[in-house]
Chain A
Amino acid sequence: MRYGRDAEILRDVSFSLPRGSFHFLMGASGSGKSTLLKLIYLAERAARGRVELFGRDVSRLRPQDRPMLRRRIGVVFQEFRLLDHLSAFDNAALALRVLGRKPTSYRQDVAELLSWVGLSSRMHAMPQALSGGEKQRLAIARAVIHRPDILLADEPTGNVDHALGLRILRLFTELNRLGATVLIASHDEDLVARSGKPILHLENGRLTRYEGVGQPTPQPSPPAPEPYPHKEDAGDLPDDADLDRGLYEDDPL
């Protein structure tokens, strides 16, 4: 992978992520983490090599076929990329609007998801009025509202304090439990270490190490994802009160 005539940003990177797995992608700034994620969420095209998603070689994908694959991917950007002219509710509902769903059909789903990420009281606030942590949780809600098969996050805890970082990580763990394949780019070693999840290390554009139990090889597909849990059957999912009290601050993930 290279931009124009610049030196290659990624080379000899070869790995596969089993469905339903949870991985971290670690590396110093400039190591190519964001570029690798961009290749996966189809914002960039590999100059050479092969990127396969859901069994399809995306480097040969026709432009008109990209939206269908992108709808199976949720992305949480480091800089959030929330739309300032839309409320938190409308930002979270974006992927469903793109799918052509009517507001009446998704209103309850979005409200429940925002409640799940602890934003039920901020539903109609504009992004400018949200704190960094609230923006981050809203960005996560927007990325998962359409139940993507793959959830990618680029430094999702980079703009929040450690306690909130742990809470956000907890959200990703729950989403993975619900069936999403998760890949998080992060350089927060402490947070990653606490998670106990396998880690892919990138250095100078090369995949140098893999830390974890076994290699990232294909695994049996998990059962079909369930709908987002309702309040009454949410079980151990964090709710508004949990997040506000910071119950997970000292929880092992």
Chain B
Amino acid sequence: MSDPLDVKRWWPAPLLPERDGRQLTLLFVLTVLCCLASLAVIGALAAGRAADGWQAQLVGSATVVVRASERESADAAAARAAETLAGVKGVTEARAMEHEKAEALVKPFLGPDPLPADLPVPRLVAVELDRKAPATAAALQAALKTAGVDATVDDHSLWTRQIMQAGDLARWVAAGLFAMIVAAAAALITFATRQGLATRDDLVTVLHLAGATDAFIARQFQARFARMAAFAGFWGGVLAALAAAGLRLYAHGQTIAALLPVEWTDLIAPLPCPFIAALIAAVAARLTAQGVLRRMP
């Protein structure tokens, strides 16, 4: 006999049995899925941020390769190119790189030994563009041609395009992972609902004979799985946030931090996880239960 002062005993118990070993397993798997989904979202945010950062660096600058001519040395041509380009609209700064820096750039390809004096190492001009209204590569090339400088303009568009593609790919991969995890969670709830209806056939029969509608019975499963998914979503989100915080703290300054620059604000990304998980579980359980009940005699 329960305690007469126990208020709970006057409150109706859930119509579906509460304790079930199988549901602990389900809860564990749902928590893992919610954690992975949250990590996918955080990963997408960080990868997107990395791609945006690299892209911003490349878009704001251009490199001009200046070659010597018969009537002008490479250094002189580079100085003149810088002077010319500095006057082009949309350019904030243009400066010729020192000879040593140009040589340093080709050393990985030609080896550490001093380069022959007669080797025509091209000179580079670094151009900083106005980020709001940057000059186009065509405009720079035209200015150089007008000034009679033999040069090639590289506005990094090749790299920018590739980085944009890499950033987009990272986002699509994360979205795909997220979608697969959502589908897996929905499938899991569908399976659990079918199993619940099959194993609690006695309960379903008694409820039907007591006048319960299919919607009423489906609501019991919907509420049960939505609550469970919300709980799993909460803990899955917390675990993902802790993992991301760990990455932010301990990977600082390492390559992984450059590839996935997690910000503290990213840690709030799993906040909607319990709600989304509950919604997915509720919809999956409701549709499954109503489908199964409709086919019952």
Q: Which residues of A contact B (CB under 8 A)?
A: 41-45, 63-64, 66-68, 70-71, 73, 75, 81, 83-87, 89-90, 93-95, 97-99, 103, 107, 124-125, 142, 146
Contacts and interface: CB of A to CB of B under 8 A. Distances in A.
A67 B211 contact: yes
A124 B2 contact: yes
Nearest to A123: B9
B17 interface: yes
Nearest to A84: B17
A90 B210 CA distance: 13
Nearest to A111: B10
Given A81-B202, A83-B15, A94-B207, 18 more contacts: A41-B209, A43-B205, A63-B294, A64-B213, A68-B211, A71-B210, A83-B203, A83-B206, A85-B18, A86-B13, A87-B9, A97-B12, A99-B211, A103-B11, A103-B12, A107-B10, A124-B9, A146-B211
B210 A98 contact: yes
Given A45-B297, A83-B206, A125-B1, A70 B211 contact: yes
A94 B1 contact: no
Contacts, number: 67
Contacts of A90: 12-13
Interface in B1-31: 1-2, 9-13, 15, 17-18
Contact of B17 (A41, A81, A85, A107): A85
**Interface range on chain B: under 10, 10 to 19, 20 to 34, or 35 or more?**
20 to 34
B173 interface: no
A84 B202 CA distance: 10
Interface of B: 1-2, 9-13, 15, 17-18, 202-203, 205-214, 216, 294, 297
B208 A70 contact: yes
Nearest to B9: A124
Contacts of A84: 17
30 contacts: A42-B209, A43-B297, A63-B294, A66-B208, A67-B208, A67-B211, A67-B212, A68-B211, A70-B208, A70-B211, A71-B210, A71-B211, A73-B209, A75-B209, A81-B202, A84-B17, A85-B18, A87-B9, A89-B9, A90-B12, A93-B12, A94-B206, A94-B210, A98-B211, A98-B212, A99-B211, A103-B10, A107-B10, A124-B2, A124-B9
B210 A95 contact: yes
7 shortest interchain CB distances as A-B pairs: A71-B211, A85-B17, A70-B211, A98-B212, A95-B210, A67-B213, A98-B210
B203 A95 contact: no
A107 B7 CA distance: 13
Nearest to B6: A124
Contact of B210 (A63, A64, A70): A70
Contacts of A64: 213-214
Contacts of B10: 103, 107
A87 B14 CA distance: 11
B293 to A, nearest CB: 9
Contacts of A124: 1-2, 9
B96 to A, nearest CB: 83
Contacts of A97: 12, 15
Nearest to B11: A103
Task: Please indicate which of the listed interface residues B1, B13, B207, B211 has the most CB atoms of chain A within 10 Å of its own CB.
Answer: B211
Nearest to B212: A98
A98 B216 contact: yes
Contacts of A41: 209
A246 to B, nearest CB: 23
A73 B207 CA distance: 13
Task: Please indicate which of the listed interface residues A83, A107, A146 has the most CB atoms of chain B within 10 Å of its own CB.
Answer: A83
A213 B214 CA distance: 42
Contacts of B212: 67, 98
Contacts of A66: 208
Nearest to B206: A81
A113 B274 CA distance: 42
A245 to B, nearest CB: 22
B1 A95 contact: no
Contacts of B216: 98
Contacts of A71: 210-211
Nearest to A106: B12
Nearest to A86: B13
Nearest to B208: A70
B20 to A, nearest CB: 10
B38 to A, nearest CB: 34
Nearest to B213: A67
A30 B9 CA distance: 42
B9 to A, nearest CB: 5
A75 B1 CA distance: 28
A86 B15 CA distance: 8
A55 B165 CA distance: 71
Contacts of A67: 208, 211-213
A71 B216 CA distance: 14
